[in-house]
Structure 1
Amino acid sequence: MTDSTPRRLVVMRHARAEHSGPSDHERRLTDGGADDARAAGAWLAGLGLEPDHVLVSAALRTRETWEAVAEGAGWDDDATHDEGLYAAGPETALDLVRQSPADALTVVVVGHNPTMATLAQLLDDGEGDEEASNDLAGGFPTCAAAVLEVDDDWADLEEQSARLLAFHVSRA
């Protein structure tokens, strides 16, 4: 990487959603889930993060999660909605992150479990924040966000190549 500025990757699970909908793909957030997502946005903005690229599963609950996160953070809610991320396993999700624009310094990915939890754990090199690592190991509930620092280009992102800086579960 030519720029020495570290990159940040936020791996996030969607907020609480209704138990049913016309289809799984069309399940909406609960009111509490939307509140949690706005709180997550405020937390992320409080860390000084502002995304350059946002990758969101095409499912309704992930799109609504991102919209509420962006609202809570005061960010533009522009995002790339990816149908493949809806059913992606961790390897596919990692491949999608690798396709992020080379000049993006902060990338946010909003998806589903178990993929988001596994992706965060796969990327963590174990050299980051110990408390955050312990919290991450304890589970990845709805509206969980892992913030990782990446030294390499997105295209070169590999397993255990990022440091976990923070982990947070938003509950409004």
Structure 2
Amino acid sequence: MSVNLTKVAKVARKYEYVLILMRHAKTEKNADDDEHRELTDKGRKQAKKVAKALDGMGMVPDVLAVSGAKRARQTADRLLKIFGDKPEVTYHKRLYTDGMSEVSQIFSNLKKKKKIVMIVGHEPTMSEAAQWWSHANAQDSAFDMLQLGLSPASCVILAAHKPFNQWDLHEADVLAVVTVKDCD
């Protein structure tokens, strides 16, 4: 099932706050140390496609919070080639080690004026965070996809009317789960 990015962008404009949770792009399979795994050529292309799609949707983030793992940093580097200097970029080693705890910490520190926030991290943390903040609608196929986890370079787009630091359990609407194929 393909996602209509134009429709998602139109719906997103109705909300004051948008969160994009992205799993890093495709990585090499074998490395001596998981934290230092690198993106493959395919992964670099994936990250660029996603960045172009988000830019085309008018969803360049104000804040880009990135895991300290090498593959997440490399994904962010590719995103920034398209996004330019707009996002305020922060790196969080604990996104790799502490998962949801660090995602919650990032949220609690966000200023009200930041309207679009993107976090580049890992599975299962990204899909868990999306499930934590999203409304669970029994007929929502996007929510069902979150329970399966995110494939490399996939994004979950959530939105709400409250500032991020006021989000609580099931505060946001899931606007879409966007895969690389949706960005073609």
TM-score by length of 1: 0.86
**Correspondence 1:86 to 2:96:** yes
Give deviations 1:30-83, integer Å, cap 9, x for gaps: 000110111111121122112111100011100111111232x44336510111
Distance 1:5 1:141, change over 3 A: closer
Contact 2:21 2:156 in 1 (8 A): yes
Contact 2:22 2:153 in 1 (8 A): yes
| Alignment counterpart, residue 102 of structure 1, candidates 112, 127, 131 | 112
The runs of 5 or more residues in structure 1 that have no matched partner are none
Partner of 1:147: 157
Q: Sequence identity of aligned pairs in percent?
A: 27
* Runs (4+) off by over 6 Å: none
Query: How far, CA to CA, are the matches of 1:80 and 1:30 in structure 2?
Result: 23
**Correspondence 1:121 to 2:131:** yes
Partner of 1:160: 170
Distance 1:134 1:5, change over 3 A: closer
Contact 1:37 1:68 in 2 (8 A): yes
The runs of 5 or more residues in structure 2 that have no matched partner are 1-13
| More displaced 10-residue stretch of structure 1: 105-114 or 95-104 | 95-104
| More displaced 10-residue stretch of structure 1: 142-151 or 118-127 | 118-127
Opposite residue 115 of structure 1, the aligned amino acid is T
Contact 1:28 1:60 in 2 (8 A): yes
Partner of 1:48: 58
Higher helix share: 2
Distance 1:96 1:166, change over 3 A: same
Deviation at 1:137, TM superposition (A): 3.8
TM-score by length of 2: 0.81
Distance 1:150 1:61, change over 3 A: same
Opposite residue 75 of structure 1, the aligned amino acid is G
Partner of 1:58: 68
Contact 1:50 1:75 in 2 (8 A): no
Q: Aligned residues, how many?
A: 167
Distance 1:6 1:166, change over 3 A: same
Contact 1:88 1:115 in 2 (8 A): no
